[in-house]
């Protein structure tokens, strides 16, 4: 734990533009380091290096907030290409202010805090990232494949059901009527659309 604190102090003192994190750090829990970095800087792009090719493990890594992962052994050219992609994506994600609101929802993306009706709602890093992407693209139909690429950073995901499950969680946490969503709408055969303002 002491080593994690040292890394956090160095990280906060000089925020990098990109982090490439090897999970097999000596005497350090790589997953915990990733999670703490994302808490400190939610929009910081992180690429995970892992020796585990198991799909379940990869899903868990992305749930921690990692933007992409590379399985060992890997090509340096492939790693560099992925680094460029996540950095471009991070730069595009600066169009929405840290403070954002719709309906009775108030969001602070910088602090990763969300309140509904004044009450804090617990959200995962991935849910914040998906919500931010929707906020950057209001009223636009977004396909599941686009969400996988832009939010997960992975265009060969095992199943688009992952997107559906996350949409369901957002609806349960943020919609007044999750079964009849007003903000996170399904566009059958196309994807999803975020509607921040509701006409009465």
Tokens standing for 15?
């925020």
Query: Model's pTM, two decimal places?
Result: 0.56
CA distance 65 to 44: 9
21-70 pLDDT, tens digit per residue, is 887 777 667 778 888 787 777 777 888 888 776 655 666 666 777 888 88
Topology of domain 99-194, CATH? Arc Repressor Mutant, subunit A (1.10.10)
Look up the CATH number of domain 2-92.
3.40.50.2300
- Helix (H) / strand (E) containing 108: strand 105-108
Closest CA to 132 of 32, 65, 61: 65
pLDDT of residue 130: 93
Closest CA to 41 of 69, 15, 2, 63: 15
Kindly tell me if the per-residue pLDDT of 102 is higher than 80: yes
Domain segments of the chain: what residues? 2-92, 99-194
What percentage of the chain carries pLDDT values higher than 90? Answer: 28
């Amino acid at each position: 734990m002491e080593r994690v604190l040292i890394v956090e102090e160095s990280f906060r003192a000089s925020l990098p533009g990109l982090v490439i994190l090897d999970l097999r750090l000596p005497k350090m829990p790589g997953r915990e380091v990733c999670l703490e970095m994302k808490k400190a800087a939610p929009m910081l792009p992180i690429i995970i290096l892992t020796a585990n090719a198991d799909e379940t493990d990869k899903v868990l890594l992305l749930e921690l907030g990692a933007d992409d992962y590379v399985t060992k052994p890997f090509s340096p050219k492939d790693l560099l290409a992925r680094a460029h992609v996540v950095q471009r994506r991070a730069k595009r994600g600066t169009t929405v202010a840290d403070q954002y609101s719709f309906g009775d929802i108030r969001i602070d993306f910088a602090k990763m805090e969300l309140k509904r009706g004044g009450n804090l709602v617990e959200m995962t890093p991935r849910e914040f990232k998906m919500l931010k992407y929707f906020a950057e693209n209001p009223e636009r139909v977004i396909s599941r494949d686009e969400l996988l690429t832009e939010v997960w950073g992975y265009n060969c995901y095992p199943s688009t059901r992952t997107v559906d499950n996350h949409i369901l969680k957002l609806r349960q946490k943020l919609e007044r009527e999750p079964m009849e969503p007003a903000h996170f709408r399904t566009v059958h055969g196309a994807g999803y659309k975020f509607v921040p303002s509701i006409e009465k």
